[in-house]
Structure 1
Amino acid sequence: MSAAPQTAAEQVATTSAPRRRGHATLVIGIVLTAVIVLAALVSLVWLPYPLSDISGGRLEAPGATHLLGTDRLGRDLLSQLMVGARIALLVGIGAVAIAAVLGTLVGLLAAFARPWVDDAMSATLDVVIAFPVLLLAMLIVAIQGASLGSAILAIGLAMSAVIARLTRILSRRVLAEQYVTAARTSGTGVLGIVRHHVLPNIAPTLAVSLALQFGVAVLAEASLSYLGLGAPPPNASWGRMLQEAQGTVLTAPVGALAPGIAIVALVLGVNFLADGLREFTDPTRRTR
């Protein structure tokens, strides 16, 4: 016996549920990310204490003078956390920009290349992707030297292979469409096809992937700083704050909890943003 057809109200509820979830996810992502961005922007013009100020007592508990307490040198933890937000966003934006430009370019070249060139480039990308981002970043930073610029360059180069492979796959799908064949027949050149057909169709998916890669970049920077390969002092980094607080985590847990929560909030916020964007940009998830 066949199941009874859905009523109009049930169909509306079924189709609108994914969109409501996507809206809620997007809002949560915006809120979490906005808090970190606000802290970073405020740090550009104001800090509770200079990073070099060691006038506070050693490992002070949170209070009116120091809202999050102080570290083992007497430095204000809130000030370090705010500057760490600036560093995390700078690394994330810089690394994603490098990965977007380089990865998209390589992916487009592979999509338009001859079959044997495409196969060679695809194999190379697969080999690069097989190595973790952090490992590749560590190798590049070890060659370039530890600095904020080296961290951004290393993480961006390591992530570009993922974007390149995705761009290649998406571009080849678009190039197989009939409207692209018609454009070629009408005399449209490669640049015209890329500008008018390929990029507009792959941009939404690439935007979601780049948002996810932003979280990867934040985690990679924190890991590099934890290992002493990130931004050197006096720059404050969440990863270095974790490394410095590991010896006093039982006596002063805020020193480790604050940067840890900040890292989780930023990564979750960006991932929620990516999930929310996917709900609104993926045609198969939209309501009709």
Structure 2
Amino acid sequence: MTAPVSATAPQNPTPGPARRHGRRATLVIGLTLTALVVVVAAVSLVWLPYPLTDISGGRLSAPSLAHPLGTDRLGRDLLSQLMVGARIALTVGAGAVMIAAVLGTTIGLAAAFARPWLDDTLSAGLDVVIAFPVLLLAMLVVAVQGPSLGSAILAIGLAMSAVVARLTRILSRRVLQEQFVTAARTSGTRTVGIVWHHILPNIAPTLAVALALQFGVAVLAEASLSYLGLGAPPPNASWGRMLQEAQGTVLTAPVGAIAPGVAVIVLVLGVNFLADGLRDVTDPTRRRSR
């Protein structure tokens, strides 16, 4: 007879202090990097060094006290554009994640409660959508709607909703097999009550981590759309558009390309570290191993 788990070697040994500090560091780094971008975006709402339409700085000026990051080929201040780009990146990321969360969760729950044939149909459709890159689907939607900030948010949100829907379906079906859900059904609890009181509370932590990761995907997709000229139109400044405009002068004025590139890296790394830290906090198996 196989020995019980308690009689064998522990499967989740208590990690040492270095590992615990590493997990805390991941969450702290993620919060710090993300908060940095949020603060810059918040400041841009009330103050900018120069208006985005101000071209009095001179073409491709080097960094100076008047222009800490220099100017672009039209004489516009790069720091001002970078600050507005942070606001646009966060707006697109948050909006796209909200659309993906609402639409994806609704479809996933519907698939989890659907009859087998309908569940199989929805699952096959989700697999087909997921097979296409997010950027490609977003480009198709923007091509129909026309380039704008709203179109970018809608396109990226719709493209990411399939991933959220599949995860919601998988998690919901696992919860539906639990005994407490069977007991709730036996007691006469309706489907809405089961979803609200049993399914959503149990799948919310995992969905939160997944949505945090999708936020980073949305930021990269928005930068890519703007780089291709399918994002927010001028005079809006986005990091992707800054990269596109600086590619011709990268050798003579490298700051114009380095600054938005570093900004994208900081935000994406920040939300990914934050997601990893949230997973450590919300995952019961990881909590027990601390």
CA contact (8 A) 1:15 1:287 kept: no
In structure 1, the residue matched to 2:124 is: 123
Q: Which residue of 2 aligns with 1:82?
A: 83
Correspondences of 1:135-146 after superposition (within 5 Å) = 135-146=136-147
Deviations 1:64-116 (A, max 9, x none): 11000000000000000000000000000000000000000000000000011
> What CA deviation, in whole Å up to 9, does each residue of 1:184-206 have, x standing for no partner?
01101101100110000000000
TM-score normalized with structure 1 length:
0.95
Aligned positions of 1:66-105 closer than 5 A = 66-105=67-106
Tell me which residue corresponds to 1:170: 171
Does residue 215 of structure 2 align to residue 214 of structure 1? yes
8 Å CA contact retained: 1:279, 1:286: yes
**Residues 140/190 of structure 1: CA separation in 2 closer, same or farther (3 Å cut):** same
The equivalent of 1:228 in structure 2 is: 229
8 Å CA contact 1:16, 1:287 repeated in 2: no
Cα distance, 1:16 vs structure 2 = 5.4
- 2:15 aligned counterpart, secondary structure: helix
Aligned partners of 1:205 and 1:278 also within 8 Å: yes
Q: How does 1:200-211 map to 2 (within 5 A)?
A: 200-211=201-212
Q: Does 1:40 align with 2:41?
A: yes
CA distance in 1: counterparts of 2:23 and 2:281, whole angstroms: 7
Q: CA deviation at 1:15?
A: 5.8
- Which residue matches 1:267? 268
> In the alignment, residue 240 of structure 1 is paired with which amino acid?
R
Q: Please say if residues 103 and 164 of structure 1, whose CA atoms lie closer than 8 Å, have aligned partners that are also in contact.
A: yes
Deviation, 1:19, is 3.6
Aligned residues: 278
CA distance in 1: counterparts of 2:53 and 2:208, whole angstroms: 39
Q: How far has the Cα of 1:12 moved from its partner? A: 8.0
Q: Distance in 1 between matches of 2:17 and 2:184?
A: 37
Shift of residue 20, structure 1, vs aligned partner: 2.6
| Superimposed CA distance per residue, residues 5-34 of structure 1 (whole angstroms, 9 cap, x where no aligned partner) | xxxxxx986265544322110000011011
Match of 1:184 in 2: 185
* CA distance in 2 between partners of 1:128 and 1:22 (Å): 34
Q: Which runs of 5+ in 1 are unaligned?
A: 1-10
Alpha-carbon distance in structure 2 between the residues aligned to 1:13 and 1:172: 31
Residues 19, 286 of structure 1: 8 Å contact kept: no
Structure 1 residue 287 displacement after superposition: 3.2
CA drift at 1:275: 0.1
The answer for unaligned runs of 5 or more in structure 2 is 1-11
Distance 2:72 2:81 in 1: 10
In the alignment, is residue 58 of structure 1 matched against residue 75 of structure 2?
Answer: no
Q: Which amino acid aligns with 1:179?
A: F
Q: Relative to 1, partners in 2 of residues 1:197 and 1:259: Cα closer, same or farther, differing over 3 Å?
A: same
Name the aligned partner's letter for residue 103 of structure 1.
Answer: G
Local SS of the residue matching 1:59: coil
TM-score (ref. length: structure 2): 0.94
* Counterpart for residue 257 of structure 1: 258
Alignment partners' CA distance in 1, 2:52 and 2:147: 20
Letter of the 1:153 counterpart = L
Report the CA distance shift for 1:168/1:16 in structure 2 as closer, same or farther (over 3 A).
farther
Q: Distance in 1 between matches of 2:14 and 2:207?
A: 30
**Kept in 2: contact 1:19–1:287 (CA 8 A):** no
1:88-147, Cα deviation, whole Å (9 max, x unpaired): 000000000000000000000000000110000000000000000000000000000000
SS at match of 1:286: helix
Contact 1:133–1:220 under 8 Å retained in 2: yes
Structure 1: distance between partners of 2:70 and 2:77: 6
What residue is the counterpart of 2:3 in the other structure? none
Instruction: Measure, in 1, the Cα distance between the counterparts of 2:105 and 2:143.
Output: 26
> In 2, distance between residues paired with 1:98 and 1:168?
17
The structure-2 alpha-carbon separation of the partners of 1:131 and 1:255, relative to structure 1 and needing over 3 Å to count, comes to same
User: Secondary structure of the residue that 1:14 maps to in structure 2?
Assistant: coil
Partner SS for 2:257: helix
Letter in 2 for 1:60: S
Let me know the Cα RMSD of the aligned residues.
1.2
Give the secondary-structure state (helix, strand or coil) at the position aligned to 1:47.
coil
Deviations 1:207-249 (A, max 9, x none): 0000000000000000000000000001000000000000000
